[in-house]
Amino acid sequence: MDFGLTDEQQAIRDEVQRFAENEIKPVASEYDEAEKFPHEVMDKAADAGLLGPSIPLEYGGAGYSPVETAIIVEELFAADPGIGLCVSSAGFGAEAIMAFGTEDQKERFLEPITTGDAIMGSAISEPDTGSDVSSVSATAEKDGDEWVINGNKMWITNGSVGDFFVVLCKTDPDASGRYNGFSQIVVESDRDGFQADKITGKLGIRASDTAELILDDVRVPEENLIGTPGGGFLQLMQFFDETRTMVAAQGVGIARGAKERALDYALEREQFGRPISEFQAIEHKLAEMETKTEAARTLTLKSAWSVENRDEQLTALASMAKEFASRVAVEVADEAVQIHGGAGYVNDFDVERFYRDAKITQIYEGTTEIQKNIIAREMKD
Ligand SMILES: Cc1cc2nc3c(=O)[nH]c(=O)nc-3n(C[C@H](O)[C@H](O)[C@H](O)COP(=O)(O)OP(=O)(O)OC[C@H]3O[C@@H](n4cnc5c(N)ncnc54)[C@H](O)[C@@H]3O)c2cc1C
């Protein structure tokens, strides 16, 4: 057993940390306040090779493993969760293309992500379909050599800035069994009938773009279907182990970022003639923040290792890591605001933003309640 990072993993961490320090931190509050997508930072992230980090080398990516990708995600989110999400989700949905896509799909869709020429998204949720993915109602009907897609997709990350989306649709309404008859189809945003309405007023991760997609008789060529027709639901479920592990890494990054800022403030701020860091009540808060963050990181990296090695515990570990690290993110960000006192309640300090940003990790990619359902189910299996 070896808990240390390899030299290469440490080098990746250092490089991303440098990028985040120079290119993300200084502009984070500006993009949050304006609810603006950070195109300028994305261009720099493309130059730094940070877009679609797990995309294989032959399609322009760095081919990073789940453990390496988790390290990158933690660093980005420790700098700023909003911009961190923009950078780390530029290739959201690419997992399906990497695993089940044809050579043609890989060439068309993967490379432009890594160069920064395209942004993608994964469109599963609908206005009436969230936790229960099997009730997706968007349809794709075959007409000649095209799919005709109809339906609304809700809360889609990169929705109004994305160039294409992997859309989960019902392709065989007569299929028997709850999980059959769905397919994943790539839909380009410049197709007729595609509309994206940006959602504003989010509590946190406000630099990240979120939109509702309205698909009205959108026609795409039949070769845009990924993998086996009707097998889309089961294909999708395979990626949740990896994508949930990455949300856990987001939680670790948020907790670490909040904790570091709280420590800095506690060392500086004086009350009763001494730094507040000398009060045992504050020391204990910091100690708990440190311990929880470390525990969340260990569980997250074990989950990433498990994805990498197709370990039999991987589904349970991904849900445990996501549930635990997202809870730690919320709790640590809360304590970071508390340590700042009144100063933590306004946007002069980053912890106000981290407090708002943390909550999303308990909601997207399956809520906390759904993760607990999965853990309990895996225990009984
Ligand atoms: C900012 C943001 C970005 C997002 N990005 C994307 C994206 O890129 N692509 C995408 O497809 N989706 C995305 N989502 C959607 C997200 O995945 C869903 O919001 C989430 O899965 C929950 O679904 P819901 O909102 O419909 O809540 P519901 O499913 O309606 O749940 C409401 C409440 O009921 C609880 N609940 C539901 N079922 C159960 C159950 N069986 N047992 C116990 N409790 C239950 C839930 O835990 C929750 O507390 C995003 C959401 C947000 C807010």
How far, rounded to the nearest angstrom, does the alpha carbon of residue 346 sit from its chain's CA centroid?
26
Q: Give dist(CA 202, CA 205) in Å, integer.
A: 7
The whole domain housing 143 covers: 120-231
Given a cut of 90, whether residue 30 has pLDDT beyond it is yes
pLDDT on residue 29: 98
Do 225 and 242 lie in a common domain? no
261 part of a folded domain: yes
Q: What is the CATH number of the domain that holds 150?
A: 2.40.110.10
Q: How many CB atoms lie within 10 A of CB 272?
A: 8
User: Which atom, in ligand 1's list, is nearest to the CA of 208?
Assistant: 1
Average pLDDT, the chain: 97
Do 104 and 174 lie in a common domain? no
In the chain, the N- to C-terminal Cα span, in Å, equals 27
- Known catalytic residues are 365
Backbone angles phi, psi at 126, to 5 degrees: -135, 170
pTM score over 0.95: yes
pLDDT on residue 285: 98
200 part of a folded domain: yes
Do 263 and 375 lie in a common domain? yes
Which among 86, 115, 144 is the end of a domain? Answer: 115
Contact status, residue 109 vs residue 132, Cβ threshold 8 Å:
no
Given a cut of 90, whether residue 102 has pLDDT beyond it is yes
Protein residue whose Cα sits closest to atom 45 of ligand 1: 369
Q: Taking residues 100-123, what's their average pLDDT?
A: 97
Contact status, residue 328 vs residue 255, Cβ threshold 8 Å:
yes
Do 20 and 94 lie in a common domain? yes
90 part of a folded domain: yes
The tally of domains found in the chain comes to 3
- DSSP code, position 358: H
Task: Please give the structure tokens belonging to residue 20.
Answer: 């985040």
Task: Please give the structure tokens belonging to residue 207.
Answer: 């630099």
pLDDT on residue 132: 96
Do 174 and 99 lie in a common domain? no
Do 186 and 280 lie in a common domain? no
Do 66 and 107 lie in a common domain? yes
Helices (H), the chain: 7-19, 28-34, 39-47, 66-79, 81-88, 94-100, 103-109, 111-115, 232-268, 280-308, 314-340, 350-358, 368-380
Q: Taking Cα atoms as reference points, which of 350, 352, 358 lies closest to residue 27?
A: 350
How sure is the predictor about 1, in pLDDT bands with cuts at 50, 70 and 90?
A: confident
Do 129 and 165 lie in a common domain? yes
Q: Taking residues 247-261, what's their average pLDDT?
A: 98
Given a cut of 90, whether residue 330 has pLDDT beyond it is yes
Q: What is the CATH number of the domain that holds 101?
A: 1.10.540.10
For the stretch 197-222, pLDDT in tens is 999 999 999 999 999 999 999 999 99
Do 257 and 353 lie in a common domain? yes
For the stretch 118-150, pLDDT in tens is 999 999 999 999 999 999 999 999 999 999 999
Given a cut of 90, whether residue 238 has pLDDT beyond it is no
* CB 125 less than 6 A from any atom of ligand 1: yes
339 part of a folded domain: yes
1 part of a folded domain: no
Do 67 and 146 lie in a common domain? no
Do 160 and 241 lie in a common domain? no
* CB 367 less than 6 A from any atom of ligand 1: yes
Task: Please give the structure tokens belonging to residue 260.
Answer: 């570091």
Protein residue whose Cα sits closest to atom 31 of ligand 1: 131
Protein residue whose Cα sits closest to atom 52 of ligand 1: 155
Do 197 and 246 lie in a common domain? no
Q: Taking Cα atoms as reference points, which of 13, 141, 160 lies closest to residue 72?
A: 13
Q: How many CB atoms lie within 10 A of CB 80?
A: 31
Q: What is the CATH number of the domain that holds 242?
A: 1.20.140.10
User: Which atom, in ligand 1's list, is nearest to the CA of 369?
Assistant: 47
Q: Taking residues 105-127, what's their average pLDDT?
A: 97
Q: Taking residues 152-176, what's their average pLDDT?
A: 97
Which among 200, 231, 262 is the end of a domain? Answer: 231
pLDDT on residue 127: 98
157 part of a folded domain: yes
Q: Give dist(CA 15, CA 53) in Å, integer.
A: 13
* CB 364 less than 6 A from any atom of ligand 1: yes
2 part of a folded domain: no
For the stretch 273-316, pLDDT in tens is 999 999 999 999 999 999 999 999 999 999 999 999 999 999 99
Which among 74, 99, 115 is the end of a domain? Answer: 115
Contact status, residue 53 vs residue 76, Cβ threshold 8 Å:
no
User: Which atom, in ligand 1's list, is nearest to the CA of 121?
Assistant: 8
272 part of a folded domain: yes
